[in-house]
Amino acid sequence: MKYTALLLAALALPAPLLAQTPTKVKTKFKPGTLAKKDAPPAPAADYAALYATRYITQEHLRRDLGVLASDEYEGRETGTKGQKMAAAYISQQFAADSLVAPVVSNAANPYLQTFNLERSSWLPGGTLTVGGKAYEWLKDFYAFGRSPFQQATAVQPVFVGYGIEQGPYFDYAGRDVKGQDIIVLLGEPHTADGKSVLSPDGSATKWAVDFRAKAALAAQKGARSVFFVDFSGKSDFAKVAARLAPRVMQPTIAAADAAGGRAPSFFVSPALALKLLGTNEATIRSYEAATATARQPVANKLKPVKFSLSAPQQRSEVGTENVLGFLPGTDKQDEVLVVSAHYDHLGIIGGEVYNGADDDGSGTVGMLAIAQAFTKAARAGHGPRRSILFLANTGEEKGLLGSEYYTSHPVFPLANTIADLNIDMIGRSDEAHLNKPDYVYVIGSDKLSSQLHSVLQEANRTHGNIDLDFRFNDPNDPNRFYYRSDHYNFAVHKIPVAFFFNGVHPDYHEASDEIAKIEFEKLEARARLVFYTAWELANREERPVVDSNKQ
């Protein structure tokens, strides 16, 4: 591939552009120094609207997305050349906007907060042997996560039912599974007509939709690994394994000392599952029916059998980077508002580039436009009272790793961080909103601070008034979106958050998530909403008070 002149300039960092950055951008903004061509017309009482409409534009958003979501950036997977190219481009935009480079420890590029992760990839030839029969990798079983079975290992599994902990339904009651390898049923207990027994209205809960909730709970309980089995008959295991094989074999990135908050997850075919449980299908059906009737775990006579497993991985250290751009405030400079978006995506899978134009190219370019609007305002003497940190996170797709690293190694004290406005996928429409007026899902805005929630709603009423959809704010939402983007690592530290999101669509995490499908008019409106909310938070007299602790 041939790289553009802009790309080559970005890759040339730190010289000459960023080599000069520390001395160039550490000078504070001075009112009245805006170039004549940037001077706002007078009178202009609503400066927020002025700078939003002038600098957060479809043209600006399209320009940046045309770079970041191009094939040249190879899907921006964490730790790869494409991700580092994207980090260089974002750094260049921050420098062009004269944002301060706050990472003084990185002499090469002071906009980058670097840290190391571990890359691992499954090696072919893994085997699981039970009852003298060897079962094959990617045919009878596959896995995600960091393998604890680098060499052939004897395993005595423990059956823990559905692996659920919700109200009176508690599969781990009286069990110590620390260091154990557990077998868990996928799905949740349900009535004969398919209704969940865990929800008041019979709708599916988080336990039915996503195995990750169970893997996270297993990790909390200290399990070494979890083996998921599916007896629903709703899918053909062999076809699913074949379809997932390219993703399974794709190298993954995680913290070297953790599994991304989830226990290593193995998936086995129904036939192999019956062997591991030492039982037959009739016994499984009887157990499922009994739990549904009792609406809680019941005793069982299952006696899982010992087996041997070899699932080796190749591992290596890999470096990656968050990108930080800082705009100093005026009279409340010590207080910091964070505007975040993750710029990584899935990379190249099976020879196809996954460009992630919506996920999260859209959020990243929205953040860049918001940064420029604020810096233009500051240079004209209308800068924010509070400081603003623009945080482009790496490693979100690998388990929120970049935001986890920042909140564990903050450049500015978390006690001084007033809120995080996180933008992740704002360039498309989901099926629920096709052919309907503009909207955006907002998640988490009231979970820690009612004031943040009110500020957001008032900013929307004053500017644009698009539909704010809070349905995913429901703590019983089975999608668990509140826990699935970078704002969550700020919420863990009791920092108020608001997550802006357009919902999933058929191109989510597919190679078809391309620029041609981005709805730039909606992307513009949503980015402006984040800007208006940030403007109010950065300039109001008091920071948002933490006055609640909703789940």
Rounded average pLDDT per 10-residue block, the chain, 551 residues: 33 34 37 44 70 98 98 97 98 98 91 96 96 97 95 97 94 96 97 92 89 93 97 92 94 74 92 97 96 94 96 96 98 98 96 97 98 98 98 96 97 98 98 94 98 98 95 89 96 98 98 98 98 98 94 76
What the block records as the tokens of 201 is 């209205």
The verdict on 306 and 357 lying in the same domain is no
How is residue 250 written in tokens?
């794709």
Q: Provide the token pair at 409.
A: 């190694």
User: What domain count does the chain have?
Assistant: 2
Phi and psi angles of residue 139, each rounded to the nearest 5 degrees, phi first: -120, -50
How many H-runs (helices) and E-runs (strands) does the chain carry?
15, 22
Q: How far is CA 486 from the centre of its chain?
A: 5
Per the CB < 8 A criterion, the answer to whether 380 and 396 are in contact is no
Neighbours of 212 (CB within 10 A): 18
Phi first, then psi, for residue 484 (nearest 5°) are -115, 15
Q: Are 382 and 498 in a shared domain?
A: yes
Q: Which residues contact 549 (CB under 8 A, 6 or more apart)?
A: 447, 448, 494
Secondary structure element (H or E) that encloses residue 134, with its range: strand 133-136
Rounded Cα distance, 94 and 112, in Å: 11
Distance between first and last Cα of the chain: 48
**H helix runs in 409-545, sequence order:** 450-462, 487-491, 520-539
> Rounded to whole angstroms, how far apart are CA atoms 305 and 133?
13
Cα 157 versus chain centre, distance: 32
CB 340, CB 444: distance < 8 Å: no
Assigned token pair, 485: 């983007």
Same domain, 110 and 136: no
* Same domain flag for 113 and 138: no
Rounded (10°) CA dihedral 518, 99, 397, 530? -50
- Tell me which of 311, 329, 348 is where a domain ends: 311
Cα 163 to Cα 469: distance, rounded to the nearest angstrom: 32
The CB density around residue 459, as the number of other CB atoms within 10 Å, is 21
Confirm whether 25 is domain-assigned.
no
Same domain, 57 and 160: no
Phi, psi of 182, deg, nearest 5: -110, 150
Task: Say how far apart CA 347 and CA 354 lie, in whole Å.
Answer: 6
Expressed in percent and rounded to 5, the helix, strand and coil fractions of the chain are: 35, 20, 45
Residues whose CB is less than 8 angstroms from the CB of residue 545 and which lie 6 or more positions away in sequence, other chains included:
449, 451
Scan for tokens 């993703």, then name that residue. Answer: 247
Give the pLDDT score at 551.
76
Check whether residue 447 and residue 527 sit in a common domain: yes
Please give the pLDDT value at position 4: 33
At 153, which CATH number?
3.50.30.30
CB burial string 391-418: b at 16+ within 10 A, e below: bbbbbbbbbbbbbbbbbeebbbeeeebb
Any domain includes 23: no
Is 298 within the bounds of a domain? yes
Instruction: Note whether 253 and 282 are same-domain residues.
Output: yes
Q: What radius of gyration do the chain's Cα atoms show?
A: 25
pLDDT score recorded for residue 252: 87
Examine residue 409 and state whether it is found in any structural domain, yes or no.
yes
Q: How far apart are CA 501 and CA 486, in angstroms?
A: 12
Q: Which domain holds residue 259?
A: 124-311
Q: Which DSSP string do the residues of 305-358 spell out, in sequence order? A: PPEEEE--EEEEEEEEEEEEEEE--STEEEEEEEEEEE--B-EEETTEEE--II
Domain C-terminal end among 258, 293, 311: 311
Ramachandran angles phi, psi of 387, nearest 5°? -75, 155
277 located within any domain? yes
Q: Give the Å distances, CA to CA, from 544 to 337, 526, 534.
A: 11, 22, 12
Nearest C-alpha neighbor of 472 from the set 445, 454, 450: 445
Q: For 129, which DSSP code? A: E
Residue with tokens 């609503």: 46
In whole angstroms, what is the distance from residue 123 CA to residue 127 CA? Answer: 11
**Strands 497-501, 417-423: pairing kind:** parallel
Residues in the chain: 551
Give the up-direction half-sphere exposure of residue 276: CA atoms within 13 A in the CB hemisphere: 33
Strands 225-229 vs 127-130: parallel, antiparallel or unpaired:
unpaired
- Whether 406 maps to a domain, the answer reads yes
Cα–Cα distance measured from residue 87 to residue 355, given in angstroms and rounded to the nearest whole number: 15
- Name the pTM for this structure: 0.83
Indicate whether 196 and 164 sit together in one domain. yes
Domain membership flag for residue 171: yes
Per DSSP, the residues of 277-295 read HT--HHHHHHHHHHHHHHT
Residue 29 resides in a domain: no
Give yes or no: residues 355 and 495 share one domain.
Answer: yes
In a shared domain, residues 475 and 523: yes
Q: How far is it, in rounded angstroms, from Cα 18 to Cα 213? A: 42
Domain shared by 301 and 347, yes or no: no
The enclosing domain of 527 has a CATH number of 3.40.630.10
**Residue 372 and residue 435 in one domain:** yes
Q: Last residue of some domain: 253, 285, 311? A: 311
Q: Degrees (nearest 5) of the Cα angle 131, 136, 138?
A: 140
Q: At which residue do the structure tokens 């800068």 appear?
A: 383
Specify whether the CB–CB gap between 142 and 246 falls below 8 A: no
Query: Bridge partners of 338?
Result: 389, 420
Taking the C-alpha atoms of residue 34 and residue 250, their distance in angstroms, rounded to an integer, is 49
What pLDDT score does 260 carry?
Answer: 52
